[in-house]
Amino acid sequence: MLSAQNPFGIERGIMKIASEVELNKLIKSEKTPNFWLFYGDEGFLKTQYVKDLVSKSLSEEAKQIDYSPFDAPLLVLDELLDCLQSCPFISPRRVAILTGLSPDVMKSEDFDALFSMIKELPSCSLFIVVINDDSTEYEIKKQPRMQKLIALAEKKGVAVYLTARKKSDLLKFVKSELAKYNADADNSVCYKIIDLCRQDMQLIENECAKLGAYATGGMVTQADADFFINLSFEESVFILVENIIAKNNRNAVKKLNDLLENGAKPIEVIATIVSGFTDLQKAVVAQKNGISFPQALTDYGYPHNHTFRLERPWNQANRLRSGYALECLNLALDADKFCKSSKADCETVLVKLVADLCLIPS
């Protein structure tokens, strides 16, 4: 969701921006508003659009003089206020950026002072605020100061909400990143890259740089993606669980063998399998009780950078047999308990657990 005050002075009121295409047009327009508020759960996009806005407003030379970055945890408010009230030296506007801001944890007097300054922001200042957290729209509704700041941004400048792109848009992003190296990939491979990178745009950019450099002038294959994209231990086990749930037993066994060959400790793999089926059971219970996905994330206390852990089982839960998740979870818990309470060979227990899980009808 992207919204902004009409920056062209044609008429009063709020101009709604429906897409990133329109946001880009606004950034590139001749007269841009002098207050921007970026928030939402897609940190990569926030960073990219802020860079675009600064580059459009200041030359490289001017950045050394008329650009002032501030970080909320280290903020001296008087210094920021003085900066916003000062005139630029060689540019049409003095640019100040405040990152890491969490309005609802600020001291009341500090928030009021900042709010008043924004209301009276001089035309020679360009002030960009980047909200620290990646709260969903549902969570933002519970933050009164954040709501107040958004309302002010929509009235005095631009409020930009950036959330994760759809997979179809990420497909274009993957292809554009590979194209930087004169490389390409079939759509199925692009989706593989997206899944391996957990739809994280920063990770996609990093991994496409490696894949593009390797396949310069050619096509990236699925084997290339599997080889070059280094997954964390936790992510590898979650993919193992996904294959078990989807009954891709051959892939599940291959992922298990890869984990063991790479030195993963069997007892840690079992513990993470328990975590994976715990996530699935939580999704089942939430859906059964009519709880929305955003509310479930809040109720279960998932960190903002781990929402993918519930997202994937959430999409699987309603397609599974009743009782499947709990049956698998109990089996995994039994294996975990057995390993911790006896002298059992943990690798044998792990292999048997995966085999048994593959046999449970989903």
- Which 8-state DSSP code applies to residue 165? P
How does strand 125-131 pair with strand 35-39? Answer: parallel
d(CA 158, CA 46): 13
Contact present, 64 and 88 (Cβ < 8 Å): no
The per-residue pLDDT for range 227-256, each reduced to its tens digit, is 888 777 877 888 889 889 888 888 888 889
The residue among 287, 269, 281, 273 whose CA lies nearest residue 324 is 281
Query: Which CATH code fits 2-161?
Result: 3.40.50.300
Residue-level pLDDT at 332: 94
Q: Which residue has the tokens 């946001």?
A: 23
Q: What is the dihedral of CA 183, 186, 187, 189, to 10 degrees?
A: -90
DSSP 3-state percent helix, strand, coil across the chain (nearest 5): 60, 10, 30
Q: Identify the bridge partners of residue 2 per DSSP, sorted by sequence position.
A: 17, 160
Q: Confirm if 338 and 349 have CB atoms less than 8 A apart.
A: yes
Q: What is the CA radius of gyration of the chain?
A: 25
Of 34, 125, 33, 115, the C-alpha closest to 84 is 125
pLDDT of residue 136: 64
Residue the block writes with tokens 């497909």 = 171
pLDDT at 116: 94
pLDDT for position 14: 39
The ranges assigned to domains in the chain are: 2-161, 167-228, 233-359
Report in angstroms the alpha-carbon separations of 203 from 177, 196, 209: 12, 9, 10
pLDDT less than 70: residues of the chain: 1-18, 133-138, 304-306
Three-state secondary structure call for residue 346: helix
pLDDT score at 7: 36
If one looks up domain 233-359 in CATH, what number appears?
1.20.272.10
Q: Contact at 8 Å (CB) between 114 and 108?
A: no
Q: Distance between CA 179 and CA 156 in Å, rounded?
A: 39
167-228 CATH pick, 3.30.70, 1.10.8, 1.10.1760, 3.40.50: 1.10.8
**CA 51 – CA 292 distance, rounded (Å):** 35
Provide the pLDDT for residue 114: 93
